[in-house]
């Protein structure tokens, strides 16, 4: 079990529906000092698990990103970025890093900023030069942060059509066969988890739930394609907990062995 971290429930619950990946940012528009300070503070304060952290770098980051094919999908003009890391010796570090990182992404959204999870289309060695990484600390992903252009560009719309698009899997496909029997807080938490972001929208998570708990596991088989499925599951875990708090339910996470990830137990 792990102690319940402090989560600004109402801010982040609203941010879940507002967050969306944006790749093109307003050129030469920096983040205001007060918002930059707020990002630095949330990175310092939201550290629910030892070994997992987020680092805000308030410097232009255009050179860190690359496109998928011939520059298509490249992040453009970000004034800053956030890095998400984890120390490998810490237990369950992939999911803990995803959980921690999504908290920072949701806070950036609540501040009126735009972001985009980036795992494979950036240069890790360039990003690492901005970071004081510790021994055995892995850089999992980064996100540009700033103000997106008002309208999505043709390229952004094209990117949103790649892969499985934004269609979300049904609860039954994700392993939940007793949907109608579950209490409102569990269904609401699973809905929030279904809408969590994941690499190429692969939605690798599955769920098993009853009246008092929700278990997250890795549902899909096959390779990670260079990015941890358990990291994605950690993002979904935070969505579960935020929604549970929205419904007045507090709980604790129990971390589990592969292919299971963690179980959220209602407390009280």
Write the CATH number for 259: 3.40.109.30
Shared domain check, 210 and 150: no
> Do 54 and 13 share a structural domain?
yes
Could you tell me the CA-to-CA distances from 155 to 80, 151, 161 in Å, in that order? 21, 11, 10
Residue 166 lies in a domain: no
Please give the tally of structural domains in the chain: 2
Domain, as residue range, for 68: 9-160
Which ranges of 19-89 does DSSP label H, i.e. alpha helix?
Answer: 33-45
Domain co-membership, 121 together with 225: no
- What is the reported pLDDT for 163? 43
Q: Evaluate whether residue 65 is within a structural domain.
A: yes
Directed axis angle between helix 229-246 and helix 184-194, to 10°? 140
Residue 164's pLDDT is what?
Answer: 41
What span, in angstroms and rounded, lies between the C-alpha atoms of 127 and 144? Answer: 11
226 domain residue, yes or no = yes
Residue 170 lies in a domain: no
Asked if residue 138 and residue 55 are part of one domain, the reply reads yes
**Of 160, 190, 205, which residue constitutes the final position of a domain?**
160
Residue 206 bridge partners (DSSP)? 217
CATH number, position 84: 3.40.109.10
Name the CA dihedral angle for 86, 251, 238, 110, rounded to a multiple of 10 degrees.
-120
So what's the pLDDT on residue 157?
57
Q: Are residues 127 and 47 in the same domain?
A: yes
Q: Note whether 97 and 219 are same-domain residues.
A: no
The secondary element (H helix, E strand) that includes residue 140 is strand 137-146
Residue 76 lies in a domain: yes
Per-residue pLDDT of the chain (268 residues; tens, 9 = 90+): 444 558 999 999 999 999 999 999 999 999 999 999 999 999 999 999 999 999 999 999 999 998 765 555 789 999 999 999 999 998 999 999 999 999 999 999 999 999 999 998 999 999 999 999 999 999 999 999 999 998 776 566 555 554 444 589 999 999 999 999 999 999 999 999 999 999 989 999 999 999 999 999 999 987 776 789 999 999 999 999 999 999 999 999 999 999 999 999 999 7
User: Are 28 and 144 contained in the same domain?
Assistant: yes
Same domain, 144 and 221: no
Examine the domain organization and report whether 199 and 248 are in the same domain.
Answer: yes
Same domain membership, residue 142 and residue 46: yes
Q: Does one domain contain both 96 and 31?
A: yes
Residue 225 in any domain: the answer is: yes
Residues shown for the chain:
268
Domain contains 168: no
Q: Are residues 183 and 107 in the same domain?
A: no
| CB within 8 Å of 194: residues ≥ 6 apart | 168, 169, 171, 174, 203
Is residue 171 included in any domain, yes or no? no
Helix (H) or strand (E) holding 86: strand 80-87
Domain final position from 109, 130, 160: 160
Which of 129, 160, 191 marks a domain boundary? 160
């Amino acid at each position: 079990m792990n102690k319940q971290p402090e989560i600004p429930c109402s801010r982040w619950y609203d941010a879940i529906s507002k967050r969306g990946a944006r790749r093109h940012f307003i050129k030469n528009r920096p983040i205001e000092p007060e918002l930059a300070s707020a990002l630095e503070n949330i990175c310092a304060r939201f550290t629910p698990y030892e070994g997992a952290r987020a680092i805000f770098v308030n410097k232009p980051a255009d050179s860190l990103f690359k496109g998928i094919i011939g520059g298509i999908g490249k992040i453009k003009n970000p004034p800053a970025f956030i890095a998400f890391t984890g120390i490998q010796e810490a237990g369950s570090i992939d999911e803990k890093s995803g959980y921690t990182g999504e908290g920072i992404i949701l806070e950036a959204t609540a501040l009126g900023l735009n972001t985009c999870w980036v795992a494979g289309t950036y240069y890790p060695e360039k990003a690492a030069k901005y970071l004081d990484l510790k021994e055995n600390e892995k850089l999992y992903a980064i996100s540009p942060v700033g103000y997106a252009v008002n309208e999505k560009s043709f390229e952004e719309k094209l990117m949103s059509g790649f892969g499985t698009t934004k269609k979300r899997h049904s609860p039954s496909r994700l392993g939940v066969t007793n949907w109608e029997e579950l209490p409102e807080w569990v269904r609401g938490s699973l809905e929030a988890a279904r809408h969590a972001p994941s690499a190429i929208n692969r939605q690798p998570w599955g769920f098993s739930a009853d009246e008092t708990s929700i278990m997250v596991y890795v549902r899909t088989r096959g390779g990670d394609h260079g990015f941890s499925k358990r990291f994605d599951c950690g993002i979904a875990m935070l969505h579960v907990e935020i929604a549970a708090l929205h419904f007045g339910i507090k709980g604790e996470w129990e971390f589990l062995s592969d292919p299971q990830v963690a179980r959220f137990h209602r407390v009280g």
